[in-house]
Amino acid sequence: MGPEPGTDEAFERATVHALRWLGSLAIRRVPSSATADEVAAVLGTDLPGPGEEPAAVIDRLAAAVEPGLMASASGRFYGWVMGGTLPAAAAADWLVTAWDQNAGMRDATPGVVAVEEVAAGWLLQLLGLPAGSSVGFASGATMANFTCLAAARGRVLQRVGWDVGADGLSGAPRIRVFVGEEGHGSVDVALRYLGLGAPERVAVDDQGRLDGDALAAALAKGAGPAIVCLQAGNVHSGSFDPFLPAVATAHRAGAWVHVDGAFGLWAAAVPSLAPLTDGIADADSWATDAHKTLNTPYDCGIAVVADAESVHFAMGLHASYLLTPSTVDPLETVPELSRRARGVPVWAALASLGSHGVQELVEGLVSCAQAIADGIARIPGAEVLNDVVYTQVCVTFGPDERTRAVFTALIDDGVVMPSASMWHGRAVLRFSVSNWRTGPAEVGETVAAVERAARAVAVPAGREERQQ
């Protein structure tokens, strides 16, 4: 095998840039320092007539883009719920690109499909979900929610004698859908894609956990097909819905139970966190992300459906030019026909961690979140608003304008990056500890950076008494 001119140089240049970027994460500023418009101006917006050598394209791309990169793979990054990338997962993802397999059909690309099937089996064992469930690798939790809810829609309608595949939704019995008041917006979007409209909201407690009695009362108000969406991991508090009673209540009413566990489902792999997920395996479907807590590269969501046939019915596609499958094809488990083998980095992440490593990863994230919360709670004027049971820390610095000013000071400082939000009517900073690179050193730097920012922002007159 000789060198392949063009390919070799381009990959070599990409490797140099990638390793330089990854090597800089420990010390670099976290927020980006250029805007999208500034990066576009450097790239140039007119497509040139003559093309460039591949290696030169890669060099130009890296130089132009780097100032606009947010160091979300840094251990000092806590924005939204993102996570970084484990070395084995990132390297496996490069192989996936080089192999360029279309992972939709089992008999056409058996190598990568086998890897995904092994990863799927590991996931079910690790998360304690029913053997034989369908596991689909979707682009993220939004599409994993969509996949699971599509399966739910077909099955609950079929139970009342309606075939949504044949007859669509026009004239169909109405499906009642219940979501907690603090459910993630991606569930609403998925319901909208599915033509199910806006869900009925169910009351939650002060940590955003669904109230089981309110769910029972809401279900009792009507009859017919129903879907209940529960949540493992509230984006503000990290809280988990009470699965054991809520699933039982929903099932008694004949409802399908779906769990959005985009980042929280991973708690099910950790014995010390078992109380959070008690009863979760009794649900009917579960959506999660590998690209959050498991730390694989984007894009990788996972849709698990206990009633595998229901998802094949919703997603399956049969055309004469495709192969006739010897068994279930991956294209029957997710919305896409053609897709990259995004389950391969999941396999690599799990292979590199082992089940013990997954437990240590998740426990490490939780203990870093608790240490950040403890450190910040000692800063004058700071208040941690949530019970830190998982990976999320939600903080205020008194009046909303001061909290926002602390956020701006932190971004200017650049050492750490939380994200800003509103929770229960108050401006908050959210620290989502989702990155395998976050450890005690990063926790120390984080608390010090927050203290610096808080000191730089004056406490409004008359509010001093709130400082502890």
Interaction with ligand PLP in 69-98: which residues (CB under 6 A)? Answer: 80-81
List 134, 142, 237, 239, residue binding ligand PLP (CB under 6 A):
142
List 103, 141, 276, 311, residue binding ligand PLP (CB under 6 A):
141
List 179, 235, 331, 348, residue binding ligand PLP (CB under 6 A):
235
Cβ of residue 146: shortest distance to ligand PLP, in angstroms?
Answer: 9
Q: Is residue 229 a contact residue for ligand PLP (CB under 6 A)?
A: no
Q: Is 111 helix (H, G, I), strand (E, B) or coil?
A: helix
Q: Is residue 148 a contact residue for ligand PLP (CB under 6 A)?
A: no
Residue placing its CB nearer to ligand PLP in the complex, 176 or 258: 258
CA 303 to chain centre: 12
The four Cα atoms 106, 112, 117, 119 give a dihedral, to 10 degrees, of: -160
Residue placing its CB nearer to ligand PLP in the complex, 186 or 285: 186
List 133, 186, 285, 293, residue binding ligand PLP (CB under 6 A):
186
Bridge partners (DSSP) of residue 77 are 417
Residue tagged 């792999």 (tokens): 269
DSSP 8-class letter at 9: H
Say how many C-beta atoms besides its own lie within 10 A of residue 356's C-beta. 8
Residue placing its CB nearer to ligand PLP in the complex, 55 or 259: 259
As a whole number of angstroms, the distance between CA 159 and CA 163 comes to 9
Bridge partners (DSSP) of residue 289 are 301
List 30, 255, 262, 365, residue binding ligand PLP (CB under 6 A):
262
As a whole number of angstroms, the distance between CA 329 and CA 323 comes to 10
Q: Is residue 285 a contact residue for ligand PLP (CB under 6 A)?
A: no
Cβ of residue 196: shortest distance to ligand PLP, in angstroms?
Answer: 17
CB 273 within 8 A of CB 260: no
Q: Is residue 233 a contact residue for ligand PLP (CB under 6 A)?
A: yes
Q: Is 383 helix (H, G, I), strand (E, B) or coil?
A: strand
Say how many C-beta atoms besides its own lie within 10 A of residue 6's C-beta. 11
Q: Is residue 208 a contact residue for ligand PLP (CB under 6 A)?
A: no
Q: Is residue 345 a contact residue for ligand PLP (CB under 6 A)?
A: no
Q: Is residue 436 a contact residue for ligand PLP (CB under 6 A)?
A: no
Q: Of 134-142, 332-340, 404-412, 439-447, which segment contacts ligand PLP by CB under 6 A?
A: 134-142
Q: Which residue minimizes CB distance to ligand PLP? A: 140
Q: How many residues in the shown chain lie near ligand PLP by CB under 6 A?
A: 14
DSSP secondary structure string for all residues of 195-246: T--SPEEE-B-TTS-B-HHHHHHHHHT--SSEEEEEEBS-TTT--B--HHHH
Q: Is residue 241 a contact residue for ligand PLP (CB under 6 A)?
A: no
Q: Distance of CA 163 to CAs 8, 72, 156, 172, 328, Å?
A: 53, 44, 10, 9, 22
Residue placing its CB nearer to ligand PLP in the complex, 359 or 432: 432
Cβ of residue 352: shortest distance to ligand PLP, in angstroms?
Answer: 22
Cβ of residue 168: shortest distance to ligand PLP, in angstroms?
Answer: 26
Bridge partners (DSSP) of residue 287 are 260, 303
Residue placing its CB nearer to ligand PLP in the complex, 233 or 375: 233
Radius of gyration of the chain (CA): 24
DSSP secondary structure string for all residues of 81-108: T-----HHHHHHHHHHHHHT--TT-TTT
Give the binding site for ligand PLP (CB under 6 A).
80-81, 140-142, 184, 186, 233, 235, 260, 262-263, 289, 301
